[in-house]
Amino acid sequence: MKIAIAQQNYHIGNFEANFENIRKGIQQAKEQGADIVVFGELAVCGYPPRDFLEFEDFINKSLEVIEKIKQESEGIAVVVGAPTINPVPEGKDLFNSAYFIADGKIIHKAHKALLPTYDIFDEYRYFEPVTTFEVVQYQGKKIALTVCEDIWNIGNENPLYKICPMDELIKQEPDFMINISASPFDYNHAKDRIDVIRANVDRYGLPIFYVNNVGAQTEVIFDGGSIVMNDDGKVVQELPYFEEALATFEVEELINSKGKLEKDIEQAKDKMNLIYEGLLLGIRDYFGKLGFKKAILGLSGGVDSAITLVLAAHALGSENVRAVLMPSQYSSDHSIDDSIKLVENLGCSHDIIPIQNPYEAFLKTLAPQFEGTSFNVTEENIQARSRGVILMALSNKFGYILLNTSNKSEAAVGYGTLYGDMAGGLSVIGDLYKTEVYGLCDYINRNGEVIPKHILTKAPSAELRPNQKDSDSLPDYADLDEVLFQYIEQRKGPKEIIAMGFDKALVDRTLRLVNINEYKRYQTPPMLRVSPKAFGMGRRMPIVGKYLS
C-alpha cells in the first residue's frame, strides 16, 4: 500500500480554490501510484474558520466540496478534513472530522476527540468531542485515523484531557496511524511536534503519517513540516517548511523497520531562519489572500522600521514596497542617510515628507488650550500622529496596506502612540522582542550588509525631542526582554521572577507597564505570531484587571 501526504495552503472560506488545490493533489497522488492521499485538518474550509462555522451556508458549502471530492476518488482513497453536522440534538452542532473517502463513497468519518481551548485555539466553542473510536479498514489494513490534538495528550505529567484516543484505537490492532493537523508555527514548535509524534510511535509501536497545513491565516502561521515516521521512531521524511509539497511512501517499508534507517531525516531548525521564513509567509499570505499587492511604511532610520522594510521587500518584491521618510526638527541627519542607504540597497521607492509644518500647525491650532503648559509627551505624540496621518493618506490614495513597525518589547510596555506609530493593517514584528529584532537583522546581514551597520550600532531613539534615547524611558532592552519573556511566555509572577535574580524595582515596574497598557494592545493591528505566546488572540487579558497594577 502506498500513501501520499499532501501539505497544502488553504484559504478560509475560499471553497473553490481549496477544492481545486485538493483536486490537483489527488491527481498528483494518482500519478505517483498512491492508494491513499491525505490532506490536512479542515482542508475544505480552511483553519481556523472561527465563527464562520455558525453559518449554515458555510457548512453547506463545505459539504458540497466533500461531494465533489467523492467524484475525484475513483481508484484512490482520500483522507480530508471538514466539519460534519452532529445528528444528535444534545451537544454542539458540529464535529471536526477526518473523512475517509474511496471510490465515490464516504467509508468512514473520524471525529476529533480532544478539542483545544488554549492559546489561539477555541474549538470547544464550535465542536462536539467524540467519545467512541473505530479504526478504518481499507485494502486489508486497519488504520488509526486521528485529528491533530488527538495525538498530543500523551506522556504528560498533567494531561489536559481525560482520554487518549490512541489508547482506545490501539485495542483494535491498527497497522499504522494517520493524523491530519493544523498545527500553528512558533519557533519552538517543530521540535515539540517531532517529540510528540515519536512519543506516539514509541508507545504504540506503529508508524505514523502526520500531515500538517501550511500557510498563514491573518496572524496565525502554519509551517507544514509534515512527517512520516517508521515504527522504530525514525523520521523517514519531513516535508519542507513554509511551502506546499506532496510525497508518497510505501507502508510496508515502515513496518517492522527496526535498524533499517541509519539516521533521522530531519531539517536544521535555526531560530532566526524559522522566524524569517515564517514572517515572509505571513506577509505574503496576508496580502495575497486579501487581494492586496503593495505595502507602505514609515522609515525612521531605526532598526524596527529597517527590518520591517527588508521583510516586506523580500516577501512582496521591492517594486511593491514604498518607504516614507518623515523627518522632524529632532531627526538626526544620519537617520535620513541610513534610511536612504537601506532603500537603495533594497531597490524600494521612497519619499521624504518632513513633518515640521503639520506639527507646528497642530501646535498653533491648540495654542489657546495649551497656553501655560510645557513640552511633554503630548507634543511627542502629535509628531507620531502627524506621521500616521501622512501614511494613512498615502495608503488610502494609492491602495497600499500600511505595515506597522512596532516590536514586542514596545507593545508590551506601551512604548508607542495610538493612531500614530501603532497604526497599520498588519504588525510584522509585533511578536519579536527588541533583542530578537537585532538577532534577525544579523541574520539578514549574514552574507553581506543589507541593513546599514550604523542602524544596528546606534542607540535606539524615537527622536521626538532633542537627544532622546529609548533608555531615557525604558530599562536596558537586554534586561527588559528577559523580564518580559518570563512574564509573558513563561507566565511567571513577580515573586518567581525576582527569585531568579532580577531587580525587584525592574520587575515591579515592567509588569505594571505590561498590565496598564492592555488597552493599547486591543487597538493594534494583528501581529504575525512566531513565539509560543504572542499578543492577540492567543493572550486574552482584561483591560480593567487590577492584578499587579
| pLDDT 10s digits, 188-237 | 999 999 999 999 999 999 999 999 999 999 999 999 999 999 999 999 99
- Other C-beta atoms lying within 10 Å of the C-beta of residue 500: 12
List the chain domain ranges.
2-257, 274-474
Q: Tell me, rounded to whole angstroms, the distance of Cα 521 from its chain centroid.
A: 17
Which residue, chain included where needed, has cell 484505537?
A: 169
- Predicted confidence (pLDDT) at residue 521 exceeds the cutoff of 70: yes
Q: Tell me, rounded to whole angstroms, the distance of Cα 285 from its chain centroid.
A: 11
Burial of 102 (0-12, 13-18, 19+ CB in 10 A): buried
Which residue, chain included where needed, has cell 509501536?
A: 205
Which is catalytic among the residues 61, 109, 112, 492? 112
Q: What is the dotted CATH code of the domain comprising 2-257?
A: 3.60.110.10
Which is catalytic among the residues 41, 128, 436, 463? 41
Compute the C-alpha angle 386/519/464, nearest 5°: 30
Average pLDDT over residues 24-47: 98
- 116: three-class secondary structure by DSSP: coil
| Catalytic site includes residue 2 | no
| Catalytic site includes residue 148 | yes
Average pLDDT over residues 16-41: 98
Q: Residue 258 — pLDDT band, cuts 50, 70, 90? A: confident
Which is catalytic among the residues 61, 109, 148, 492? 148
CA gap 5, 445 in Å, rounded = 36
The pLDDT assigned to 59 comes to 98
Q: Residue 446 — pLDDT band, cuts 50, 70, 90? A: very high
Q: Residue 402 — pLDDT band, cuts 50, 70, 90? A: very high
Class of domain 274-474: alpha beta
| Catalytic site includes residue 112 | yes
Would the CATH topology of 2-257 be identical to that of 274-474? no
Q: What is the CA radius of gyration of the chain?
A: 26
